[in-house]
Amino acid sequence: MVLKAVKGNAAFQPSPNPKGAFKKSLALAEAILVLATVKISAQDSGWQPVQDSTGKTLYKLERGWLTVILDDTLIRAKANECVEMVLQVNENLPENRNIRWLEIEGSHKQDSSGVIRYFEMMYDTTNRKIIASGDLFRDSMLYKAGIIHESAHAKFRGLPDSGRGLLAGLYKKMMKKAGLEPYLPYNKFALLSAWGIADNDSLIKIFDESNYFSRLPREAGHPFDNENELFASASVVLKYAPKQFLKNLEKLKVESAEKYELAREIARAVLLEWNDSRLFSAKLHKKLGLQHLMEKNY
């Protein structure tokens, strides 16, 4: 797997003090719950064996400023793709919003048959980290969707007021069309009832990633929460299901011209705020009348 060269940006430079970075990485490694102890040769994937303070062998991958230390074989294989995606997404984020580390947490729950049912990914705004439960990394769709969703939150927080304002206006219009109050109070009953309505609303669900990928839990996308969640969920849909999205858009056109126009406006706003045609398909840009974004030189 070839990684793109990262543009000149202070945040992307390798640490001037590799020894310090190495020590820090080991400290981070200690915080990672090792989910399995499968050992394979690391020679083919760029993973170098390192010892933690207890003498245990872990595997380290370094890509510019990003260092990842893992043990589990499966997770290591998936992490290569994660690293590539995080580097690309980071090119789109203001420096003070760059995602620095994918932290793999051990918090996962098993059902009575021992199958892990709980997985979660979140963006830690204070430390600008994506935190994920380890099991997520075994399913490529789940972790890719998760990285884009959480990166979109980081992106959203770095948007200028005009961009956030525009998305807030569209979000409120969307909720009104569905007959829902914007910014629902975060309590179980409001949420359950909103989910019931939102799940059946053709406009809201066009931006809900859990509607596109059966492996995603129903609560993975909640674009009805606020404009930040709308932006994050819409980013996943536009990134990973552009064809299905365009099909759904055509269906919406038949159902309601107003809903169609609003959905199109939201999708356009999301792509315009990302402003990176490499992240989304060329066909999508064309269909939404955003060819000019394709002409940009990178």
**Residues listed for the chain:** 298
Rg (CA), the chain: 20
Which residues from 50-79 bind Zn ion, rule CB under 5 A? Answer: none
CA distance 205 to 183: 17
CB atoms within 10 A of CB 289: 9
Contact between 237 and Zn ion (CB under 5 A)?
A: no
Nearer to Zn ion, 201 or 225 (CB): 225
Contact between 279 and Zn ion by CB under 5 A: the answer reads no
Q: Does 82 bind Zn ion (CB under 5 A)?
A: no
Q: Is 234 in the site for Zn ion (CB under 5 A)?
A: no
DSSP string over 277-298: TTTS-HHHHHHTT-HHHHT---
Distance CA 195, CA 212 (A): 16
**Residue list 181-200, contact with Zn ion (CB under 5 A):** none
Residue 130 near Zn ion by CB under 5 A: no
Contacting residues for 230 by C-beta, under 8 A, at least 6 apart: 167, 170, 171, 174, 207, 223, 224, 266
The least distance separating Zn ion from the CB of residue 1, rounded to whole angstroms, comes to: 27
Nearer to Zn ion, 63 or 157 (CB): 157
In the complex, minimum distance from the CB of residue 202 to Zn ion, in angstroms, rounded to a whole number: 22
Residue 147 interacts with Zn ion (CB under 5 A)? no
The answer to whether residue 132 forms part of the interface with Zn ion (CB under 5 A) is no
CB of 153 to Zn ion, least distance (A): 6
Cβ-closest position to Zn ion: 232
Residue 215 CB, nearest distance to Zn ion (Å)?
Answer: 17
Which residues lie below 8 Å from residue 223, measured CB to CB, with a gap of 6+? 174, 198, 204, 207, 208, 229, 230, 232, 233, 234
Closer residue to Zn ion, CB minimum distance, 32 or 232: 232
Q: Between residues 145 and 232, which has the closer beta carbon with respect to Zn ion? A: 232
CB 133 within 8 A of CB 119: yes
Minimum CB distance to Zn ion smaller for 154 or for 262: 154
Closest approach of Zn ion to the CB of residue 152, in Å: 8
Cα separation, 292 vs 286, whole angstroms: 9
Q: Is 148 in the site for Zn ion (CB under 5 A)?
A: no
CB of 232 or CB of 279, closer to Zn ion: 232
Helix (H, G, I), strand (E, B) or coil at 173: helix
Binding mask 213-232 for Zn ion (x = CB under 5 A): -------------------x
Shortest Cβ distance from residue 188 to Zn ion (Å)? 18
Q: Which is nearer to Zn ion, 232 or 269 (CB)?
A: 232
174 binds Zn ion (CB under 5 A): no
Spatial distance between the Cα atoms of 88 and 92, rounded to a whole number of angstroms: 7
Of 52 and 103, the one with the shorter C-beta distance to Zn ion is 103
Please choose, from the candidates 162, 184, 185, 188, the residue with its C-alpha nearest in 3D space to the C-alpha of residue 175: 184
CA dihedral of residues 17, 88, 154, 95 (deg, nearest 10): 40
| CA distance linking residue 145 with residue 76, whole number of Å | 18
- Shortest distance in whole angstroms from residue 175 CB to Zn ion: 17
CB atoms under 10 Å from CB of 15, counted, come to: 15
Distance CA 195, CA 233 (A): 14
Q: How far is the CB of 167 from Zn ion (least distance, A)?
A: 14
Residues lying near Zn ion in the complex (CB under 5 A) are found at 232
